[in-house]
Structures are given as C-alpha cells and as structure tokens.
C-alpha cells in the first residue's frame, strides 16, 4: 500500500507472522530514470526474508528495466499493478485502466516475464473490472496467465467503486474457477479479522488472502491467522502491553531505517494506528500531530498507554480469560 507498506511496516508484519510482503506500487518509469525518491522505496526485507516488488506503468522498456532492478535487490517476485484506481495513475492509462486494454496488459506481462530470470514469478494484481457493466476480472485474469503471469490477486471492487461499497467475493470465486488450478489466486478486499479471512477462503476458494487496511495498527492479525491456520486456537486481540511493545518496535524501525523530514510524519501515523479504537485515541492523535519532534511524540504515546494500563487495572476491565483490548473495553469511560 502506497505510503504505508514501507520497510518498517513490512518488518513488523513479518515479525508477527505474515507469509509474504510486497512493496508499495512503484512507478516503473520513475525507477527506470533513477528517481531517488522512488528507488529509495524499493527496499529488500530485512534478515533475508523473501519479498516482492510491485511496479506499475505502460512503457515496455521501463517495465523491463524496473523488473530487473527489483530482481537485482533480491525480490523473489515481481507484481504488476493493474488495479490502482487513483486518478493520476488512470490518467496515465496505468493501474486499473489496463483492465480496459487486455492486449496491452498482456504485452506488459510478456515483457516483464522476458526481463527476469525464469525462477522469478511475475504476478498481476487487478480489480473486479472497470465498472459495474465491465466486470471482466475472470477473462482478464486468464489473459494475464496466458501471457505468463504466475499468480493473480483480485480486489473484489471495480475501479469506479474506488474504496466505496463492498468487495465482492463472488467475482473472486469466478476468477478462481476460471484460472487454471495450478495458478494461485489471492483474494483481497475488506478482510479485517480472523472470521473475514475464513469467510474469504470459504466463499471464494482462493489459495491465500491479501490483507491491506486491516493490518494498519493491527499486525497481530497475522499472528492470529498463523495460529488458526496451523489448527491452533485464536490467541485473541493483543493486550495493551503488547500493543505498546509493538508500537515501540515499529518506531525504533522508523528511526533506524528512515531519515529526513518525513520521519516525524511516519511516527505520527504509527501513533495513530496503534491507539486506534482505544479510549481517548482521537485526542491522542490530535496531540501527537502537534508535537514538534519524535521524542515528544513517543513520550505522549508512552504516557497514554501507561494511563490506559493503570485505568484498566483499576476498573477491572478485561477479566481473566479475556486477553485482548477491544474498542468497547473503555466504553463506560468514553460515555462518561
């Protein structure tokens, strides 16, 4: 996810058990011309963990060059974005606009496949279609596979839906049914919890699930899913202490891996994510947004969690056996 799945975010998700992470989408053109801002976002996962790089574009030479660059930093998969609905991307006839031009999309897949070693799978992520009258995901996915794509990810919304309405599991099922069975189909859209994951698998028959927004400030979703998929009980939502500890790890990673004026912005985002849904989180977010520096932002969050932990003990919330913190845990106080 653009402006989200940077290296610190991916590292936290990996440490909590996600199967595989992919960079945010990166303009092939910008990579090919060596734009430092974009090349700086093409980062390998830490500690040798496998990762993918996602690129977008429609210039064949740039797509080939960008794919080679991804391989050169150790990517074990190159994903082509054909699902982005953003105006500036669609105006350049990239992202989801390619769903209206399957032949050009196929040619881009062929070019990228030819640019990378045979051991590196080239994969495609797309949407249900352009709009309600053109939900061509099953045919489109088959065309991409015919051109050499080795995995398909489908977000069950159309381009015109943007992020409104609901992701449709039925279209993901149609893609799964249409595409040859040896090609993995990844279901995507609106999975924010364990039940949603299980529903996606069951309703669509997809081989794996891609989770986006549901992971913001909630990387425990991955550790919970890892347990459930291994046939063990769901450990439940994190405690406040666990939230604080992963927040600290995330911010440490931001401080270690990022530099420049955006660092404070990234830390502010992390503060908001990890407090989301907890009592007083909106007030915290506003205060953090006004802090002048990183240390002050960290201190505010430390203080916030210390107070919550103290209050929680005092009010006897989260009785024995209930591990996690939920939005409703502090509802009494919030209402007061």
**Which residues here bind ligand FMN, judged by CB under 6 A?**
1-2, 4, 24-25, 54, 81, 83, 125, 155, 188-191, 211-214
By beta-carbon proximity to ligand FMN, the closer residue of 2 and 90 is 2
Residue among 84, 94, 142, 281 flagged as catalytic: 84
- Looking at the chain, which runs of residues are DSSP E strands? 21-27, 51-56, 77-82, 122-129, 152-158, 185-188, 208-210
By beta-carbon proximity to ligand FMN, the closer residue of 121 and 305 is 121
Own/partner long-range contacts of 316-324 (Cβ < 8 Å, ≥24 apart): 318/239, 322/236, 323/235, 323/236, 323/237, 323/238, 323/239, 324/236, 324/237, 324/238, 324/239
By beta-carbon proximity to ligand FMN, the closer residue of 179 and 186 is 186
User: How far apart are alpha carbons 28 and 67 in whole angstroms?
Assistant: 8
- Residue 1, judged by CB atoms within 10 A of its CB (0-12, 13-18, 19+), counts as middle
DSSP letter (8 states) at residue 201: H
- If DSSP codes are grouped into helix, strand and coil, which group holds residue 6? coil
- Edge-first strand order for the sheet with 21-27 is 21-27, 51-56, 77-82, 122-129, 152-158, 185-188, 208-210
Contact 208, 229 (CB under 8 A): no
Give least dist CB 155 to ligand FMN, A.
4
Decide if 142 is catalytic: no
Give least dist CB 153 to ligand FMN, A.
7
The DSSP H or E segment spanning 325 is none
By beta-carbon proximity to ligand FMN, the closer residue of 125 and 298 is 125
Give least dist CB 3 to ligand FMN, A.
6
Region for 116 from its dihedrals, namely left if φ exceeds 0, alpha if ψ lies in -120 to 50, beta otherwise: beta
Sign, Cα dihedral of 4, 7, 8, 12: positive
- Residue 91, judged by CB atoms within 10 A of its CB (0-12, 13-18, 19+), counts as exposed
Strand partners, 54: 25, 79
Give least dist CB 242 to ligand FMN, A.
22
Give least dist CB 81 to ligand FMN, A.
5
By beta-carbon proximity to ligand FMN, the closer residue of 54 and 291 is 54
Give least dist CB 141 to ligand FMN, A.
15
By beta-carbon proximity to ligand FMN, the closer residue of 53 and 191 is 191
Q: Which residues are catalytic?
A: 84
């Amino acid at each position: 996810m653009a402006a989200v799945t940077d290296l610190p975010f991916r590292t936290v998700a990996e440490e909590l058990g996600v199967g595989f992470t992919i960079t945010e989408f990166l303009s092939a053109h910008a990579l090919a011309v060596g734009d430092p801002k974009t090349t700086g976002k093409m980062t390998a996962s830490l500690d040798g963990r496998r990762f993918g790089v996602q690129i977008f574009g429609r210039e064949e030479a740039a797509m080939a060059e960008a794919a080679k660059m991804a391989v050169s930093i150790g990517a074990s998969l190159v994903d082509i974005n054909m699902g982005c609905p953003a105006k500036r991307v669609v105006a350049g006839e990239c992202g989801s606009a390619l769903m209206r031009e399957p032949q050009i999309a196929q040619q881009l897949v062929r070019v990228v496949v030819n640019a990378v070693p045979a051991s590196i799978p080239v994969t495609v992520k797309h949407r249900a279609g352009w709009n309600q009258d053109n939900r061509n995901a099953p045919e489109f996915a088959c065309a991409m596979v015919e051109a050499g794509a080795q995995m398909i990810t489908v977000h069950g919304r159309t381009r015109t839906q943007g992020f409104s309405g609901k992701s449709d599991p039925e279209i993901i099922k149609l893609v799964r049914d249409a595409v040859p069975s040896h090609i993995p189909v990844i279901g995507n859209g609106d999975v924010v919890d364990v039940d949603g994951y299980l529903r996606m698998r069951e309703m669509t028959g997809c081989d794996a699930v891609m989770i986006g927004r549901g992971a913001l400030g909630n990387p425990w979703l991955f550790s919970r899913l890892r347990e459930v998929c291994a046939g063990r009980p769901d450990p439940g939502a994190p405690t406040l202490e666990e939230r604080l500890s992963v927040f600290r790890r995330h911010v440490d990673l931001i401080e270690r891996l990022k530099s420049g004026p955006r660092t404070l912005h990234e830390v502010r985002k992390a503060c908001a994510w990890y407090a989301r849904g907890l009592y007083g989180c909106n007030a915290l977010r506003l205060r953090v947004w006004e802090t002048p520096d990183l240390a002050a932002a960290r201190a505010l969050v430390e203080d916030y969690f210390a107070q919550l932990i103290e209050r929680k003990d005092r009010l006897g919330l989260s009785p024995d056996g209930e591990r996690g913190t939920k939005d409703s845990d502090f509802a009494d106080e919030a209402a007061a």
